[in-house]
Protein backbone atom coordinates (compact mmCIF):
# COMPACT_ATOMS: atom_id res chain seq x y z
CA UNK A 1 0.00 0.00 0.00
CA UNK A 2 2.90 2.30 0.83
CA UNK A 3 4.33 1.76 -2.66
CA UNK A 4 0.98 2.55 -4.30
CA UNK A 5 0.72 5.79 -2.28
CA UNK A 6 4.24 6.75 -3.29
CA UNK A 7 3.54 6.19 -6.99
CA UNK A 8 0.20 8.03 -6.73
CA UNK A 9 1.89 10.96 -4.93
CA UNK A 10 4.58 11.14 -7.60
CA UNK A 11 1.96 11.13 -10.37
CA UNK A 12 -0.07 13.80 -8.57
CA UNK A 13 3.01 16.02 -8.41
CA UNK A 14 3.48 15.55 -12.16
CA UNK A 15 -0.11 16.67 -12.75
CA UNK A 16 0.30 19.74 -10.53
CA UNK A 17 3.56 20.69 -12.24
CA UNK A 18 1.87 20.48 -15.66
CA UNK A 19 -0.71 23.29 -15.42
CA UNK A 20 -1.94 22.82 -18.99
CA UNK A 21 -3.01 19.22 -18.33
CA UNK A 22 -4.59 20.20 -15.02
CA UNK A 23 -6.53 23.09 -16.57
CA UNK A 24 -7.68 20.86 -19.43
CA UNK A 25 -8.85 18.16 -17.01
CA UNK A 26 -10.86 20.69 -14.98
CA UNK A 27 -12.25 22.89 -17.75
CA UNK A 28 -12.99 20.38 -20.51
CA UNK A 29 -15.99 18.79 -18.71
CA UNK A 30 -17.42 22.26 -18.04
CA UNK A 31 -16.97 23.38 -21.65
CA UNK A 32 -18.47 20.18 -23.08
CA UNK A 33 -21.41 20.24 -20.66
CA UNK A 34 -22.19 23.86 -21.51
CA UNK A 35 -21.89 23.17 -25.24
CA UNK A 36 -24.12 20.10 -25.09
CA UNK A 37 -26.60 21.80 -22.76
CA UNK A 38 -27.13 24.77 -25.07
CA UNK A 39 -26.54 23.16 -28.46
CA UNK A 40 -28.64 20.01 -28.01
CA UNK A 41 -32.08 21.54 -28.41
CA UNK A 42 -34.70 19.65 -30.40
CA UNK A 43 -37.44 22.21 -29.83
CA UNK A 44 -38.76 24.39 -32.65
CA UNK A 45 -38.47 27.95 -31.39
CA UNK A 46 -39.63 29.61 -34.61
CA UNK A 47 -41.75 28.14 -37.39
CA UNK A 48 -41.67 30.12 -40.63
CA UNK A 49 -44.80 29.42 -42.63
CA UNK A 50 -46.54 30.79 -45.71
CA UNK A 51 -50.06 30.54 -47.08
CA UNK A 52 -51.70 30.03 -50.46
CA UNK A 53 -55.21 31.46 -50.03
CA UNK A 54 -57.29 30.37 -53.01
CA UNK A 55 -60.58 31.23 -51.28
CA UNK A 56 -59.98 34.88 -50.26
CA UNK A 57 -62.92 34.76 -47.86
CA UNK A 58 -63.57 35.99 -44.33
CA UNK A 59 -63.09 32.44 -43.03
CA UNK A 60 -59.74 31.96 -44.77
CA UNK A 61 -58.53 35.34 -43.53
CA UNK A 62 -59.65 34.45 -40.01
CA UNK A 63 -57.64 31.22 -40.18
CA UNK A 64 -54.54 33.10 -41.35
CA UNK A 65 -54.93 35.71 -38.60
CA UNK A 66 -55.45 33.02 -35.99
CA UNK A 67 -52.31 31.11 -36.98
CA UNK A 68 -50.23 34.28 -37.32
CA UNK A 69 -51.00 35.14 -33.70
CA UNK A 70 -49.82 31.81 -32.33
CA UNK A 71 -46.59 31.59 -30.35
CA UNK A 72 -43.58 30.38 -32.40
CA UNK A 73 -45.45 30.91 -35.69
CA UNK A 74 -43.76 33.42 -38.02
CA UNK A 75 -45.79 34.33 -41.09
CA UNK A 76 -43.42 34.99 -44.02
CA UNK A 77 -45.93 35.82 -46.76
CA UNK A 78 -48.43 34.51 -49.28
CA UNK A 79 -48.04 32.75 -52.62
CA UNK A 80 -50.53 32.66 -55.48
CA UNK A 81 -49.94 29.10 -56.64
CA UNK A 82 -49.17 25.93 -54.64
CA UNK A 83 -46.54 25.16 -57.31
CA UNK A 84 -44.46 28.02 -55.85
CA UNK A 85 -44.07 26.06 -52.60
CA UNK A 86 -40.90 24.32 -53.72
CA UNK A 87 -39.29 27.66 -54.54
CA UNK A 88 -39.88 28.78 -50.94
CA UNK A 89 -38.39 25.55 -49.63
CA UNK A 90 -35.32 25.80 -51.87
CA UNK A 91 -34.70 29.35 -50.71
CA UNK A 92 -35.18 28.28 -47.09
CA UNK A 93 -37.80 31.01 -46.63
CA UNK A 94 -40.51 28.78 -45.14
CA UNK A 95 -40.70 25.43 -43.38
CA UNK A 96 -44.34 24.89 -44.21
CA UNK A 97 -47.11 26.17 -46.48
CA UNK A 98 -50.86 26.03 -45.77
CA UNK A 99 -53.04 25.81 -48.91
CA UNK A 100 -56.61 27.07 -48.39
CA UNK A 101 -58.75 25.73 -51.27
CA UNK A 102 -61.30 27.71 -53.25
CA UNK A 103 -64.81 27.28 -51.83
CA UNK A 104 -63.55 26.79 -48.28
CA UNK A 105 -66.07 29.16 -46.69
CA UNK A 106 -68.97 27.87 -48.80
CA UNK A 107 -68.28 24.25 -47.87
CA UNK A 108 -67.79 25.08 -44.19
CA UNK A 109 -71.18 26.83 -44.00
CA UNK A 110 -72.75 23.90 -45.87
CA UNK A 111 -71.56 21.59 -43.09
CA UNK A 112 -68.98 19.75 -45.17
CA UNK A 113 -65.47 18.92 -43.95
CA UNK A 114 -62.92 20.91 -45.95
CA UNK A 115 -59.46 19.35 -46.45
CA UNK A 116 -56.69 21.94 -46.07
CA UNK A 117 -53.33 20.93 -47.47
CA UNK A 118 -50.27 21.40 -45.24
CA UNK A 119 -47.00 21.22 -47.19
CA UNK A 120 -43.82 20.57 -45.21
CA UNK A 121 -40.12 20.88 -46.09
CA UNK A 122 -38.83 17.45 -45.03
CA UNK A 123 -35.14 18.05 -45.75
CA UNK A 124 -34.43 18.61 -42.04
CA UNK A 125 -36.07 15.73 -40.22
CA UNK A 126 -36.16 17.07 -36.66
CA UNK A 127 -37.66 20.37 -37.76
CA UNK A 128 -40.04 18.78 -40.28
CA UNK A 129 -41.76 16.52 -37.77
CA UNK A 130 -42.31 19.42 -35.37
CA UNK A 131 -43.47 21.73 -38.17
CA UNK A 132 -45.96 19.09 -39.27
CA UNK A 133 -47.28 18.69 -35.74
CA UNK A 134 -47.61 22.45 -35.14
CA UNK A 135 -49.27 23.30 -38.46
CA UNK A 136 -51.65 20.34 -38.37
CA UNK A 137 -52.58 21.19 -34.79
CA UNK A 138 -53.23 24.85 -35.61
CA UNK A 139 -55.40 24.06 -38.66
CA UNK A 140 -57.38 21.34 -36.88
CA UNK A 141 -57.88 23.50 -33.78
CA UNK A 142 -59.33 26.29 -35.93
CA UNK A 143 -61.60 23.76 -37.66
CA UNK A 144 -62.80 22.44 -34.30
CA UNK A 145 -63.55 25.99 -33.13
CA UNK A 146 -65.68 26.63 -36.25
CA UNK A 147 -67.55 23.37 -35.61
CA UNK A 148 -68.32 24.45 -32.05
CA UNK A 149 -69.48 27.88 -33.21
CA UNK A 150 -71.79 26.31 -35.80
CA UNK A 151 -73.20 23.90 -33.24
CA UNK A 152 -73.99 26.76 -30.87
CA UNK A 153 -75.68 28.77 -33.61
CA UNK A 154 -77.87 25.79 -34.44
CA UNK A 155 -78.84 25.38 -30.82
CA UNK A 156 -76.83 22.20 -30.37
CA UNK A 157 -74.85 23.26 -27.33
CA UNK A 158 -72.33 20.60 -26.43
CA UNK A 159 -72.61 18.86 -29.79
CA UNK A 160 -69.58 19.28 -32.02
CA UNK A 161 -70.75 17.69 -35.24
CA UNK A 162 -68.13 16.94 -37.88
CA UNK A 163 -64.74 18.62 -38.21
CA UNK A 164 -65.22 21.76 -40.34
CA UNK A 165 -61.57 21.97 -41.49
CA UNK A 166 -59.11 19.10 -41.50
CA UNK A 167 -55.38 19.21 -42.25
CA UNK A 168 -53.98 16.88 -44.90
CA UNK A 169 -50.19 16.83 -44.89
CA UNK A 170 -47.75 16.32 -47.72
CA UNK A 171 -44.02 16.22 -46.96
CA UNK A 172 -41.53 17.20 -49.65
CA UNK A 173 -38.13 15.52 -50.25
CA UNK A 174 -38.45 12.99 -47.40
CA UNK A 175 -42.11 11.86 -47.21
CA UNK A 176 -41.53 9.23 -44.53
CA UNK A 177 -39.18 11.48 -42.51
CA UNK A 178 -36.47 8.81 -42.62
CA UNK A 179 -33.63 10.06 -40.42
CA UNK A 180 -30.81 8.75 -42.62
CA UNK A 181 -31.90 10.99 -45.51
CA UNK A 182 -31.49 13.96 -43.20
CA UNK A 183 -28.25 12.73 -41.63
CA UNK A 184 -26.31 11.42 -44.66
CA UNK A 185 -25.42 14.89 -46.07
CA UNK A 186 -24.26 15.96 -42.61
CA UNK A 187 -22.20 12.80 -42.21
CA UNK A 188 -20.47 13.51 -45.52
CA UNK A 189 -19.43 16.92 -44.18
CA UNK A 190 -18.18 15.52 -40.87
CA UNK A 191 -16.15 12.76 -42.54
CA UNK A 192 -14.62 15.20 -45.03
CA UNK A 193 -13.80 17.72 -42.30
CA UNK A 194 -12.13 15.08 -40.17
CA UNK A 195 -10.17 13.45 -43.00
CA UNK A 196 -8.97 16.68 -44.62
CA UNK A 197 -7.90 18.27 -41.33
CA UNK A 198 -6.22 15.10 -40.06
CA UNK A 199 -4.32 14.37 -43.27
CA UNK A 200 -2.92 17.89 -43.60
CA UNK A 201 -2.23 18.36 -39.88
CA UNK A 202 1.01 16.42 -40.31
CA UNK A 203 2.28 18.12 -43.47
CA UNK A 204 4.67 20.65 -41.90
CA UNK A 205 5.39 18.99 -38.57
CA UNK A 206 6.33 15.78 -40.39
CA UNK A 207 9.05 17.70 -42.24
CA UNK A 208 10.35 18.95 -38.89
CA UNK A 209 10.45 15.47 -37.39
CA UNK A 210 12.28 14.11 -40.44
CA UNK A 211 14.77 16.96 -40.40
CA UNK A 212 13.86 18.10 -43.92
CA UNK A 213 12.14 21.34 -42.93
CA UNK A 214 15.38 23.29 -43.30
CA UNK A 215 15.60 22.16 -46.92
CA UNK A 216 12.14 23.61 -47.54
CA UNK A 217 13.14 26.86 -45.85
CA UNK A 218 16.26 27.12 -48.01
CA UNK A 219 14.49 26.31 -51.27
CA UNK A 220 13.75 29.15 -53.73
CA UNK A 221 10.06 28.17 -53.86
CA UNK A 222 7.71 30.84 -52.54
CA UNK A 223 5.76 29.93 -49.36
CA UNK A 224 2.44 30.32 -51.17
CA UNK A 225 3.61 27.91 -53.89
CA UNK A 226 4.75 25.44 -51.24
CA UNK A 227 1.36 25.63 -49.52
CA UNK A 228 -0.57 25.15 -52.75
CA UNK A 229 1.68 22.29 -53.80
CA UNK A 230 1.26 20.55 -50.46
CA UNK A 231 -2.51 21.07 -50.31
CA UNK A 232 -3.36 20.15 -53.90
CA UNK A 233 -3.00 16.34 -53.52
CA UNK A 234 -5.17 16.39 -50.40
CA UNK A 235 -7.83 18.51 -52.11
CA UNK A 236 -7.97 16.07 -55.03
CA UNK A 237 -8.11 13.16 -52.59
CA UNK A 238 -10.93 14.91 -50.72
CA UNK A 239 -12.94 15.32 -53.92
CA UNK A 240 -12.52 11.61 -54.64
CA UNK A 241 -13.84 10.97 -51.12
CA UNK A 242 -16.85 13.20 -51.90
CA UNK A 243 -17.71 11.11 -54.95
CA UNK A 244 -17.31 7.88 -52.97
CA UNK A 245 -19.46 9.20 -50.11
CA UNK A 246 -22.21 10.40 -52.45
CA UNK A 247 -22.28 7.07 -54.29
CA UNK A 248 -22.48 5.17 -50.98
CA UNK A 249 -25.28 7.47 -49.81
CA UNK A 250 -27.18 6.77 -53.01
CA UNK A 251 -26.60 3.01 -53.28
CA UNK A 252 -26.77 1.97 -49.62
CA UNK A 253 -29.04 4.60 -48.06
CA UNK A 254 -31.23 5.62 -51.01
CA UNK A 255 -30.20 9.30 -50.87
CA UNK A 256 -29.65 10.32 -54.53
CA UNK A 257 -28.43 13.74 -55.63
CA UNK A 258 -31.52 15.62 -56.80
CA UNK A 259 -29.67 18.82 -57.73
CA UNK A 260 -26.67 19.64 -59.89
CA UNK A 261 -23.59 17.38 -59.49
CA UNK A 262 -21.44 20.27 -60.72
CA UNK A 263 -22.73 22.53 -57.93
CA UNK A 264 -21.98 19.74 -55.45
CA UNK A 265 -18.39 19.43 -56.69
CA UNK A 266 -17.84 23.21 -56.59
CA UNK A 267 -18.96 23.67 -52.98
CA UNK A 268 -17.15 20.47 -51.96
CA UNK A 269 -13.88 21.75 -53.45
CA UNK A 270 -14.19 24.98 -51.46
CA UNK A 271 -14.97 23.04 -48.28
CA UNK A 272 -12.11 20.56 -48.71
CA UNK A 273 -9.70 23.46 -49.37
CA UNK A 274 -10.86 25.14 -46.17
CA UNK A 275 -10.62 21.99 -44.04
CA UNK A 276 -7.17 21.21 -45.46
CA UNK A 277 -5.96 24.74 -44.70
CA UNK A 278 -7.20 24.40 -41.10
CA UNK A 279 -5.22 21.18 -40.71
CA UNK A 280 -2.15 22.83 -42.23
CA UNK A 281 -2.45 25.72 -39.77
CA UNK A 282 -2.39 23.26 -36.85
CA UNK A 283 0.63 21.59 -38.41
CA UNK A 284 2.46 24.94 -38.35
CA UNK A 285 1.74 25.70 -34.67
CA UNK A 286 2.63 22.30 -33.16
CA UNK A 287 5.89 20.42 -32.73
CA UNK A 288 4.74 16.79 -33.09
CA UNK A 289 2.39 14.97 -35.43
CA UNK A 290 0.47 13.52 -32.49
CA UNK A 291 -0.20 16.96 -31.04
CA UNK A 292 -1.24 18.30 -34.44
CA UNK A 293 -3.67 15.44 -35.02
CA UNK A 294 -5.21 15.77 -31.55
CA UNK A 295 -5.61 19.51 -32.00
CA UNK A 296 -7.15 19.02 -35.43
CA UNK A 297 -9.62 16.45 -34.09
CA UNK A 298 -10.64 18.50 -31.05
CA UNK A 299 -11.02 21.71 -33.04
CA UNK A 300 -12.97 20.31 -35.97
CA UNK A 301 -14.97 17.19 -35.12
CA UNK A 302 -16.59 18.29 -31.84
CA UNK A 303 -17.69 21.76 -33.05
CA UNK A 304 -18.83 20.29 -36.37
CA UNK A 305 -21.00 17.65 -34.72
CA UNK A 306 -22.53 20.01 -32.15
CA UNK A 307 -22.77 23.45 -33.73
CA UNK A 308 -23.02 22.99 -37.50
CA UNK A 309 -26.67 21.97 -37.67
CA UNK A 310 -25.73 18.34 -38.34
CA UNK A 311 -28.26 17.01 -35.83
CA UNK A 312 -29.52 20.06 -33.93
CA UNK A 313 -30.94 23.17 -35.63
CA UNK A 314 -28.60 26.17 -35.41
CA UNK A 315 -31.52 28.58 -35.00
CA UNK A 316 -32.46 26.86 -31.71
CA UNK A 317 -29.09 27.68 -30.13
CA UNK A 318 -28.34 30.80 -28.05
CA UNK A 319 -27.23 33.81 -30.09
CA UNK A 320 -23.60 33.41 -29.04
CA UNK A 321 -23.46 29.81 -30.26
CA UNK A 322 -25.30 30.79 -33.43
CA UNK A 323 -22.50 33.29 -34.05
CA UNK A 324 -19.89 30.58 -33.48
CA UNK A 325 -21.78 28.27 -35.84
CA UNK A 326 -21.69 30.86 -38.62
CA UNK A 327 -17.86 30.87 -38.69
CA UNK A 328 -17.69 27.08 -39.01
CA UNK A 329 -17.31 26.02 -42.65
CA UNK A 330 -19.31 22.85 -41.98
CA UNK A 331 -22.41 24.88 -41.04
CA UNK A 332 -22.68 26.32 -44.54
CA UNK A 333 -21.48 23.17 -46.30
CA UNK A 334 -24.13 21.01 -44.61
CA UNK A 335 -26.83 23.54 -45.54
CA UNK A 336 -25.60 23.47 -49.14
CA UNK A 337 -25.41 19.67 -49.24
CA UNK A 338 -28.96 19.31 -47.97
CA UNK A 339 -30.15 21.90 -50.44
CA UNK A 340 -28.42 20.29 -53.44
CA UNK A 341 -28.85 16.61 -52.54
CA UNK A 342 -32.35 16.63 -51.03
CA UNK A 343 -34.15 19.71 -52.40
CA UNK A 344 -32.45 20.09 -55.76
CA UNK A 345 -31.65 23.72 -54.97
CA UNK A 346 -29.21 25.70 -57.11
CA UNK A 347 -26.35 27.80 -55.78
CA UNK A 348 -28.32 31.00 -56.42
CA UNK A 349 -31.07 29.73 -54.11
CA UNK A 350 -28.52 29.44 -51.30
CA UNK A 351 -26.20 32.34 -52.11
CA UNK A 352 -25.75 33.43 -48.44
CA UNK A 353 -24.30 30.02 -47.59
CA UNK A 354 -22.19 30.05 -50.76
CA UNK A 355 -20.85 33.53 -49.95
CA UNK A 356 -20.06 32.56 -46.35
CA UNK A 357 -18.28 29.37 -47.40
CA UNK A 358 -16.22 31.25 -50.00
CA UNK A 359 -15.25 33.90 -47.42
CA UNK A 360 -14.17 31.26 -44.90
CA UNK A 361 -12.47 29.37 -47.73
CA UNK A 362 -10.38 32.45 -48.55
CA UNK A 363 -9.60 33.22 -44.90
CA UNK A 364 -8.07 29.94 -43.75
CA UNK A 365 -5.60 29.43 -46.63
CA UNK A 366 -4.45 33.04 -46.09
CA UNK A 367 -3.94 32.39 -42.37
CA UNK A 368 -2.13 29.12 -43.11
CA UNK A 369 0.22 30.78 -45.62
CA UNK A 370 1.11 33.56 -43.15
CA UNK A 371 1.75 31.08 -40.38
CA UNK A 372 3.87 28.96 -42.71
CA UNK A 373 5.97 32.02 -43.60
CA UNK A 374 6.62 32.61 -39.89
CA UNK A 375 7.58 28.96 -39.46
CA UNK A 376 10.11 29.34 -42.27
CATH code of 51's domain: 3.40.1710.10
Let me know whether 154 and 213 are in one domain: no
Let me know whether 370 and 250 are in one domain: yes
Let me know whether 236 and 96 are in one domain: no
CA distance 4 to 12: 12
In a domain, 262, yes or no: yes
pLDDT at 375 over 90: no
Residue 88's pLDDT band (cuts 50, 70, 90): very high
Residue 213 is predicted with a pLDDT of 65
Domains in the chain, number: 2
DSSP letters, 102-128, are TTHHHHHHTTPPEEEEEEEETTSHHHH
Q: Which of residues 109, 144, 172 is at a domain's end?
A: 172
Pick 160 or 366 by higher pLDDT.
366
Pick 231 or 206 by higher pLDDT.
231
Strand-strand pairing, 165-172 and 114-121? parallel
Helix axes 329-337, 179-200, angle to 10 degrees: 140
Let me know whether 72 and 214 are in one domain: no
- pLDDT tens figures, 36-66: 777 777 778 889 999 999 999 999 999 999 9
Residue 139 is predicted with a pLDDT of 94
SS3 163: coil
Residue 50 is predicted with a pLDDT of 96
Q: Which of residues 172, 191, 226 is at a domain's end?
A: 172
Pick 289 or 84 by higher pLDDT.
84
In a domain, 29, yes or no: no
pTM of the entire predicted model? 0.84
CA distance 82 to 21: 59
Cross-sheet strand order for the sheet of 114-121: 73-78, 47-53, 96-100, 114-121, 165-172
Q: Which of residues 114, 148, 172 is at a domain's end?
A: 172
In a domain, 31, yes or no: no
Residue 338's pLDDT band (cuts 50, 70, 90): very high
In a domain, 337, yes or no: yes
Let me know whether 112 and 197 are in one domain: no
Mean pLDDT of 253-279: 93
Let me know whether 54 and 100 are in one domain: yes
Residue 242's pLDDT band (cuts 50, 70, 90): very high
Residue 127 is predicted with a pLDDT of 87
Q: Which of 75-89, 218-232, 241-255 has the lowest mean pLDDT?
A: 218-232
| C-beta neighbour count of 24 within 10 angstroms | 13
In a domain, 42, yes or no: no
Let me know whether 156 and 61 are in one domain: yes
Residue pair 89/61 in contact (Cβ under 8 Å)? The answer is no
Residue 171's pLDDT band (cuts 50, 70, 90): very high
Let me know whether 67 and 127 are in one domain: yes
Residue 298's pLDDT band (cuts 50, 70, 90): confident
Let me know whether 108 and 204 are in one domain: no
Let me know whether 183 and 160 are in one domain: no
CA distance 244 to 83: 34
- pLDDT tens figures, 131-164: 999 999 999 999 988 888 877 777 655 444 567 8
In a domain, 136, yes or no: yes
In a domain, 58, yes or no: yes
- pLDDT tens figures, 3-30: 777 777 777 777 777 676 677 677 777 7
- pLDDT tens figures, 97-118: 999 999 999 998 888 899 999 9
Residue 21 is predicted with a pLDDT of 65
> What residues make up the domain containing 338?
179-375
Let me know whether 296 and 199 are in one domain: yes
pLDDT at 211 over 80: no
In a domain, 41, yes or no: no
Mean pLDDT of 348-358: 94
Mean pLDDT of 195-221: 76
Let me know whether 231 and 277 are in one domain: yes
Average pLDDT taken over every residue of the chain: 86
Amino acid sequence: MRRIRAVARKEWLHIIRDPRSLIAALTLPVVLLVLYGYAVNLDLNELEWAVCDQDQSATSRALIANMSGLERFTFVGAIDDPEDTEQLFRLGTARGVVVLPAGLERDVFAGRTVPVQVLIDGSEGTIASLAQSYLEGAVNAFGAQISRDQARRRGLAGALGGQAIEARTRIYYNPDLISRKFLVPGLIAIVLMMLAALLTSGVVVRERERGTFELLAASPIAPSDLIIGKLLPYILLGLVDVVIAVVIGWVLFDVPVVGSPLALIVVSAIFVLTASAIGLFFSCVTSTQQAAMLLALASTVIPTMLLSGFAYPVRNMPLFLQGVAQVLPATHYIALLRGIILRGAGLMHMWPNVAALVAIGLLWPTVAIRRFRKAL
